[in-house]
Chains A and B, each alone.
Chain A
Amino acid sequence: MKSLEELRAIREKAREQMTLRKEDGPQSTRVIVGMATCGIAAGARPVLAAAVEQVSRRKLENVSVTQTGCIGVCRLEPIVEVLAPGEEKVTYVKMTPEMMEKVIAEHIVNNRVVKEYTIGAEEPGPAAN
Chain B
Amino acid sequence: MDFVRSHILVCGGTGCTASKSPLLIEEFGKQLKAAGLEREVMVIQTGCFGLCELGPVVVVYPEGAFYSRITPADVETIVSEHILKGRIVARLLYHETVSHDSVNSLNDTNFYKKQLRIALRNCGVINPENIDEYIAMDGYQALAKALTEQTPDEVIQIMIDSGLRGRGGAGFPTGRKWQYAKSYKGDQKYVLCNADEGDPGAFMDRSILEGDPHSVIEAMIIAGYAIGASQGYIYVRAEYPIAVQRLEKAIGQAREYGLLGQNIFGTGFGFDLSIRLGAGAFVCGEETALIASIEGCRGEPRPRPPFPAERGLFGRPTMNNNVETYANIPWILINGTEAFAAIGTENSKGTKVFALGGKIVNTGLVEVPMGTTLREVIEEIGGGCPGGKKFKAAQTGGPSGGCIPAEHIDKPIDYESLSAIGSMMGSGGLIVMDEDNCMVDMARYFLDFTVDESCGKCTPCRIGTRRLHQMLDKFTEGRATLEDIDMMEELCAHISKNSLCALGQTASNPVLSTLRYFRDEYEAHVRDRKCPARVCKSLLQYLIIDKCRGCTACKRVCPTDAISGEVKKLHVIDQEKCVKCGACMETCKFAAIIKE
Contacts and interface: CB of A to CB of B under 8 A. Distances in A.
Nearest to B7: A20
B590 interface: no
Contact of A34 (B86, B107, B140, B148): B86
A69 B85 CA distance: 6
B40 A40 contact: no
A128 interface: no
A67 interface: yes
Query: Interface residue tally of chain B, by bracket?
Result: 35 or more
A33 B6 CA distance: 13
B83 to A, nearest CB: 8
B132 interface: yes
Interface of B: 3-7, 9, 40, 61-64, 84-87, 105, 107, 125-126, 132-133, 135-138, 140-141, 144, 148, 257-259, 263-266
A7 B140 contact: yes
A69 B87 contact: yes
B266 A2 contact: yes
Contacts of B64: 23-24
Given A21-B7, A49-B3, A64-B62, A33 B86 contact: yes
B132 A14 contact: yes
Interface of A: 1-4, 7, 10-11, 13-15, 17-18, 20-21, 23-24, 33-37, 39-40, 48-49, 52-53, 56, 64-69
Contacts of A23: 64, 105, 107
A45 to B, nearest CB: 9
A21 B257 contact: no
In the complex, which of the residues A3, A13, A14 has the most CB atoms of chain B within 10 Å of its own CB atom? A14
B85 A13 contact: no
A14 B266 contact: no
A52 B40 contact: yes
Given A1-B257, A21-B125, A52-B40, A66 B86 contact: yes
Contacts of A7: 135, 140-141, 144, 265
A125 B152 CA distance: 71
A12 to B, nearest CB: 9
Contacts of B126: 18
Given A4-B144, A14-B135, A20-B4, A36 B61 contact: no
A64 B263 CA distance: 41
Contacts of B6: 20
B86 A35 contact: yes
A32 to B, nearest CB: 8
Contacts of B85: 35-37, 39-40, 67, 69
Contact of B138 (A11, A52, A65): A11
The 4 nearest A-B residue pairs measured at CB = A67-B86, A14-B136, A69-B87, A35-B86
A85 B135 CA distance: 30
A37 B148 CA distance: 56
Contact of A49 (B5, B105, B137): B5
A13 B132 contact: yes
Given A7-B144, A20-B61, 9 more contacts: A1-B264, A10-B132, A11-B135, A11-B138, A18-B137, A20-B5, A35-B85, A39-B85, A52-B3
B136 A17 contact: yes
Contact of B84 (A2, A4, A40): A40
In the complex, which of the residues A21, A33, A37, A66 has the most CB atoms of chain B within 10 Å of its own CB atom? A21
A56 B3 contact: yes
Nearest to B40: A49
Nearest to A34: B86
A18 B9 CA distance: 12
Contacts of A17: 4, 132, 136
7 contacts: A1-B257, A1-B265, A7-B265, A14-B132, A20-B61, A21-B125, A49-B40
